[in-house]
Amino acid sequence: MVSCMTAKQSENPSIVILREGTEDSQGKPQIISNINACQSIVDVVKTTLGPRGMDKLIHQQRSVTISNDGATIIQLLDIVHPAAKTLVDIAKSQDNEVGDGTTSVVLFAGELLNQSKQFIEEGMHPSVIIKGYREAMTKSIDRIRECSIKIAEEEGRRDILKKCAQTSLNSKIISKYKEFFSEMVVQAVEILESDLDKSFIGIKKVTGGSVTDSFLVEGVAFKKTFSYAGFEQQPKKFVNPKICLLNLELELKSEKENAEIRLDSPEDYQKIVDAEWTLIYEKLEKIIASGSQVILSKLPIGDLATQYFADRGLFCAGRVPNDDLLRLAKSTGGVVQTTVNGLTDDVLGTCGVFEEKQLGNERYNFFTQCIGTKSCTIVLRGGADQYIEEAERSLNDAIMIVRRAVKANAVVAGGGAIEMELSRFLREYLRSISGKQQLVINGFAKALEIIPKTLAENSGMDSTDVLNKLRQKHTQDAEDGIWFGVDVINGRCANMYKEFVWEPELVRINVISAATEAACTILSVDQTIKNPKSEQQQAEAAGRLQGTSQQGRPRPQMGRGIRGRGGK
């Protein structure tokens, strides 16, 4: 909208570009505001880092979540600040790409922004900081790849994978049983094919018993599905059965409500009814003719089909979850069919033993001793739902770590050791450059120390004393000192490689790259414009509010009588 003015006023015309009510903030205060918002998120997750980290309880209406997983916590927080949402994105990307290190990536990104805050306040341009951070990131990643320990194809490789899984579980709620679960996780990953698709590792949660009652099923296990009358008459165990996997509904369907059929005699109606029964019986007979003994379908199997199979000594289950059906196809060699025509032996699966067992208060179907098993199921036990939920998140992280270790074939020491080594390396690199970049890269080196510092603080140690000792070790002893970090279990500085605290190099590379990119993205924003709602949106919102009561029901229209056409 351009305002109209007289000739006298045209010397200094006023042009209105943005709608009235638009919020606009820019310049140095805006960058500082974004950094402060991100720092608030960091303060929430900071105390969860490490084996001695604390848990967070997040309450949303009726659901309660207790966790120390960074990605889980940040996703459950209802973050509305646009810049702070960047930290949510990097936590998600770290969880999807690597599975572990979600707290570290948020913590490191926040510290990078904190270090840049003083540069901004002193008048340094954000572009200079961004350039320095990216240069430091490149040097750090190269250094990680240079000093990482390569996993050879030898007998000790499996032990290294177990140590990586244990390192991931160190900070989890099931850390007391890390040896028990690390063996289970490595065994589960070894069962997978070369692509290491995590979706073929199922995790089932069964309340009751101890967590040590958890076990791995080399095959598929899933909870007994909804069943009709006649199900209990079916046999619950087969040896070497043929398995038919269907994506087909096996029950009588009622006609659509809007269907219209004109009949001349009652006999015509009976023919239609008989045709429906004929169709379902033809399907069932074709399934039996194929020699299948276990029939599973993603869609419902009705009471007629259930009783039909029970009378012939066969087992059936409908409404099988899609994930479990795909794992069954992978393990048994079967192919999911959408028709009962052409059920030959090559599309039917088989397994060594099928059995239905009681687990706690539930009944589970087990498919084991499959030839060429390429999928597995971890059955988690525990006394409380919250405990089992957190144990599942912990195992997910451990599985992801082992997968990455198998693919990367290289590990580094944890406990803040690699961060201290990178900090030392960058400080030495500073001597070869000059200008503002020297200050920025020095800030990057300081930010790296936030990981060992926070580990020490969360375990009750003196963080200043710990950092001084680690700097001394990394400077004096170039060979052995490279892997010195914070041993939070024993409260000391130690060689974390000899303590078997290992993690894939990809975890640290992803932490540094993702955190740096997030920090650079936030620093590159110098103006935030928030558009107001348009008049139409405001009217629609007001209309919805007026037309709906607090209980979500339409408000009765008050004060309106009913009139006839000629009424007054």
pLDDT band at 551 (very low <50, low <70, confident <90, very high): very low
CB 461 within 8 A of CB 488: yes
Q: Same structural domain for residues 416 and 336?
A: no
CATH of residue 345's domain is 3.50.7.10
pLDDT band at 267 (very low <50, low <70, confident <90, very high): confident
Asked if residue 6 belongs to a domain, the reply is no
Q: Please determine, for residue 135, whether its predicted confidence score (pLDDT) is greater than 90.
A: yes
Mean of per-residue pLDDT scores for the chain: 83
pTM, to two decimals:
0.77
When mean pLDDT is compared across 128-137, 153-162, 392-401, 494-503, the lowest value belongs to 153-162
pLDDT at 474: 83
Q: Please determine, for residue 546, whether its predicted confidence score (pLDDT) is greater than 60.
A: no
Mean pLDDT of 136-148: 92
Q: Same structural domain for residues 109 and 214?
A: no
Q: Same structural domain for residues 282 and 352?
A: yes
Give the integer Cα–Cα distance in Å for 164 and 411.
8
Give the integer Cα–Cα distance in Å for 88 and 101.
13
User: Looking at 65, 72, 86, 103, which residue is catalytic?
Assistant: 103
Q: Same structural domain for residues 359 and 388?
A: no
When mean pLDDT is compared across 385-394, 513-522, 542-551, the lowest value belongs to 542-551
pLDDT at 559: 41
**What residues contact residue 123 under an 8 Å CB cut-off, 6+ apart?**
none
Q: Same structural domain for residues 335 and 387?
A: no
pLDDT band at 491 (very low <50, low <70, confident <90, very high): confident
- In DSSP notation, 330-385 reads HHH----BSSSTT--GGG-EE-SEEEEEEETTEEEEEEES-TT---EEEEEEESSH
pLDDT at 374: 85
Cα(first)–Cα(last) distance of the chain, in Å?
46
pLDDT band at 154 (very low <50, low <70, confident <90, very high): low
Residue 389 structural domain: 157-218+380-408
Q: Please determine, for residue 548, whether its predicted confidence score (pLDDT) is greater than 60.
A: no
Provide the number of structural domains found in the chain.
Answer: 3
pLDDT, tens only, 194-205: 888 888 999 999
CB 294 within 8 A of CB 243: yes
Q: Please determine, for residue 161, whether its predicted confidence score (pLDDT) is greater than 50.
A: yes
**What residues contact residue 306 under an 8 Å CB cut-off, 6+ apart?**
227, 228, 229, 230, 231, 234, 316
Give the integer Cα–Cα distance in Å for 361 and 208.
8
When mean pLDDT is compared across 133-137, 517-521, 559-563, the lowest value belongs to 559-563
CATH of residue 165's domain is 3.30.260.10
Q: Same structural domain for residues 135 and 47?
A: yes
pLDDT band at 132 (very low <50, low <70, confident <90, very high): very high
Mean pLDDT of 546-553: 49
* Chain centroid offset of residue 29 CA: 35
At residue 255, the 3 state secondary structure works out as coil
Asked if residue 421 belongs to a domain, the reply is yes
Give the integer Cα–Cα distance in Å for 151 and 169.
20
Helix (H) or strand (E) holding 406: helix 385-408
At residue 222, the 3 state secondary structure works out as strand
Mean pLDDT of 281-294: 91
Mean pLDDT of 184-210: 89
- In DSSP notation, 486-509 reads EETTTTEEEETTTTT-EEEHHHHH
Q: Is 224 exposed, middle or buried (0-12, 13-18, 19+ CB in 10 A)?
A: middle
pLDDT, tens only, 32-77: 888 888 888 899 899 998 888 888 888 887 888 888 888 888 888 8
Amino acid, single-letter form, for residue 14: S
Q: Give me the residues paired with residue 356 across strands.
A: 365
- Overall residue count recorded for the chain in this entry: 568
pLDDT band at 158 (very low <50, low <70, confident <90, very high): confident
Q: Give me the residues paired with residue 233 across strands.
A: none
Q: Please determine, for residue 259, whether its predicted confidence score (pLDDT) is greater than 80.
A: no
Q: Same structural domain for residues 338 and 361?
A: yes
pLDDT at 454: 92
Mean pLDDT of 475-497: 81
Q: Please determine, for residue 445, whether its predicted confidence score (pLDDT) is greater than 90.
A: yes
Mean pLDDT of 500-506: 86
CATH of residue 97's domain is 1.10.560.10
Asked if residue 563 belongs to a domain, the reply is no
pLDDT at 55: 86
Give the residue from 408, 428, 455 where a domain finishes: 408
Asked if residue 550 belongs to a domain, the reply is no
Give the integer Cα–Cα distance in Å for 392 and 365.
20
pLDDT, tens only, 371-393: 777 889 999 998 888 889 889 98
Helix 157-169 to helix 178-191 angle, to the nearest 10 degrees? 130
Give the integer Cα–Cα distance in Å for 233 and 138.
66
pLDDT, tens only, 347-367: 998 999 999 999 888 899 999
At residue 294, the 3 state secondary structure works out as strand
Q: Give me the residues paired with residue 136 across strands.
A: none
Q: Give me the residues paired with residue 59 across strands.
A: 64
pLDDT at 561: 39
Percent of the chain with pLDDT over 70: 85
Q: Give me the residues paired with residue 297 across strands.
A: 246
* Chain centroid offset of residue 443 CA: 32
pLDDT, tens only, 455-468: 999 888 888 998 99
pLDDT at 473: 86
Asked if residue 564 belongs to a domain, the reply is no
CB 297 within 8 A of CB 248: yes
Asked if residue 98 belongs to a domain, the reply is yes
pLDDT, tens only, 426-440: 999 988 888 888 999
Asked if residue 552 belongs to a domain, the reply is no
Q: Please determine, for residue 25, whether its predicted confidence score (pLDDT) is greater than 80.
A: no
pLDDT band at 563 (very low <50, low <70, confident <90, very high): very low
Q: Same structural domain for residues 168 and 280?
A: no
pLDDT at 221: 92
Helix (H) or strand (E) holding 24: strand 23-26
User: Looking at 65, 397, 454, 487, which residue is catalytic?
Assistant: 397
State the pairing for strand pair 362-368/353-359: antiparallel
Q: Same structural domain for residues 330 and 454?
A: no
Mean pLDDT of 328-332: 89
User: Looking at 102, 373, 377, 454, which residue is catalytic?
Assistant: 102
Annotated active-site residue 69? The verdict is yes
Q: Give me the residues paired with residue 222 across strands.
A: 365
Q: Same structural domain for residues 146 and 200?
A: no
Percent of the chain with pLDDT over 90: 29
Residue 236: which of 151, 294, 319, 305 has the closest Cα? 294
Q: Please determine, for residue 558, whether its predicted confidence score (pLDDT) is greater than 90.
A: no
Beta strands in 269-326 (DSSP E): 294-297, 315-317
Q: Same structural domain for residues 30 and 143?
A: yes
- In DSSP notation, 517-548 reads HHHHHHHT--EEEEPPPPHHHHHHHHHHHHHB
Q: Same structural domain for residues 310 and 362?
A: yes
CB 204 within 8 A of CB 395: no
User: Looking at 69, 95, 100, 487, which residue is catalytic?
Assistant: 69
Asked if residue 7 belongs to a domain, the reply is no
